[in-house]
């Protein structure tokens, strides 16, 4: 069986290389001895018959309306995938488009697909940029990346990806980053995030394999590459002034 990983709208939603997270999943699956392929989907007509995971990257505000129109064609499928437990990674504006909606500075708005709780609103104090370190909720993992967004994310405080150790995350002073609902993840972590945080990639791959009746076990090549990723992560944490050996603070359901 071949695992099919869909990169949604890569021509529009790949400003920071986020769509390449699909390639990360496929490569790690291959190193584990599993067949996997990446399918770029720009419209509903290009959708494969079976989907094992979805990646939606971040785009520019200029492409928001076009991206939303194309995603609306896939609304029923996206909702079904989310309900069925298909892993979905949405980054930046890709995440915002799956939310309740996006509020723009001129007072107008763009209705989201309503797959994830919360909405994007103009950030008080301007654009948020810089290194981002997150203590993942429910684990001892520190996730690293960079953030670059003009909007804050509100209304999903009960289900964050994790607590901010360095950076701003969902909003200045919120202390939270991202949103998680089942196997659907929304995040500001650019990067691509799965290359920098292989534990997140392996979690998605484990779910993908299990749903397909397969078993995912990282291969030898994976461990070699992850050693490089770990070195880069430690350099990132050191530059951010975060102690990689310190256990993240306990996290509650309300963050």
The domain ranges of the chain are 2-240
Q: Evaluate whether 9 touches 64 at the Cβ level (below 8 Å).
A: no
pLDDT tens for each residue of 47-65: 999 999 999 999 999 999 9
Residue 220, pLDDT > 70, answer yes
Give the whole-angstrom CA distance, residue 106 versus residue 190. Answer: 26
Q: Which CATH number fits domain 2-240: 3.30.70.1560, 3.40.50.880, 3.40.920.10, 3.60.21.10?
A: 3.40.50.880
pTM, two decimals, is 0.93
Q: How confident is the model at residue 246 (pLDDT cuts 50, 70, 90)?
A: low
Q: How confident is the model at residue 89 (pLDDT cuts 50, 70, 90)?
A: very high
Higher pLDDT, 246 or 185: 185
Residue 212, pLDDT > 50, answer yes
- Say which residue the tokens 């769509």 belong to: 19
pLDDT tens for each residue of 117-144: 999 999 998 899 999 999 999 887 999 9
In the prediction, which pLDDT does 249 show? 43
In the prediction, which pLDDT does 125 show? 87
Residues in the chain: 255
Give the whole-angstrom CA distance, residue 99 versus residue 135. Answer: 23
Q: Which of 185, 202, 206, 186 is nearest to 194 (CA)?
A: 202
In the prediction, which pLDDT does 13 show? 96
In the prediction, which pLDDT does 139 show? 85
Average pLDDT of the segment spanning 5-19: 96
pLDDT tens for each residue of 226-242: 999 999 889 999 988 89
Residue 191, pLDDT > 80, answer no
Residue 255, pLDDT > 80, answer no
In the prediction, which pLDDT does 221 show? 92
Average pLDDT of the segment spanning 160-169: 96
In the prediction, which pLDDT does 244 show? 73
Q: How many CA atoms lie within 13 A of 163 on its CB side?
A: 15
In the prediction, which pLDDT does 157 show? 87
3-state class (DSSP) for residue 253: coil
DSSP element (H, E) containing 38:
strand 35-41
Q: How many CA atoms lie within 13 A of 123 on its CB side?
A: 18
Give the burial string for 159-193 (b: 16+ CB within 10 Å, else e).
Answer: bbbbbbbbbbbbbeebebbbbbbebbbbbbbbbbb
């Amino acid at each position: 069986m071949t695992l099919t990983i869909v990169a949604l709208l890569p021509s529009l939603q790949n400003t920071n290389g986020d769509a390449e997270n699909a390639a990360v999943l496929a490569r790690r699956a291959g190193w584990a001895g599993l067949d996997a392929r990446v399918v770029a989907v720009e419209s509903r007509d290009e959708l494969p018959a079976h989907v094992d995971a979805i990646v939606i990257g971040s785009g520019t505000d200029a492409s928001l309306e076009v991206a939303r129109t194309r995603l609306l064609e896939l609304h029923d499928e996206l909702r079904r995938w989310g309900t069925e437990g298909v892993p979905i990674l949405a980054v930046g504006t890709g995440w915002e488009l799956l939310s309740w909606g996006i509020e723009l500075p001129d007072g107008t708005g763009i209705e989201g697909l309503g797959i994830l709780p919360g909405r994007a609103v103009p950030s008080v104090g301007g654009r948020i940029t810089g290194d981002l370190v997150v203590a993942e909720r429910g684990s001892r993992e520190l996730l690293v990346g960079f953030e670059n967004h003009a909007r804050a994310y509100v209304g999903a405080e009960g289900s964050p990806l994790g607590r901010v150790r360095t950076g701003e995350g969902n909003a200045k002073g919120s202390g939270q980053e991202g949103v998680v609902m089942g196997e659907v993840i929304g995040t500001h972590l650019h990067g691509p995030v799965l290359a920098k945080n292989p534990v997140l990639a392996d979690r998605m791959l484990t779910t993908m394999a299990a749903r397909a009746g397969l078993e995912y076990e990282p291969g030898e090549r994976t461990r070699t590459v992850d050693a490089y990723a770990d070195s880069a992560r430690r350099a990132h944490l050191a530059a951010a002034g975060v102690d990689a050996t310190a256990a993240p603070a306990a996290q509650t359901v309300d963050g």
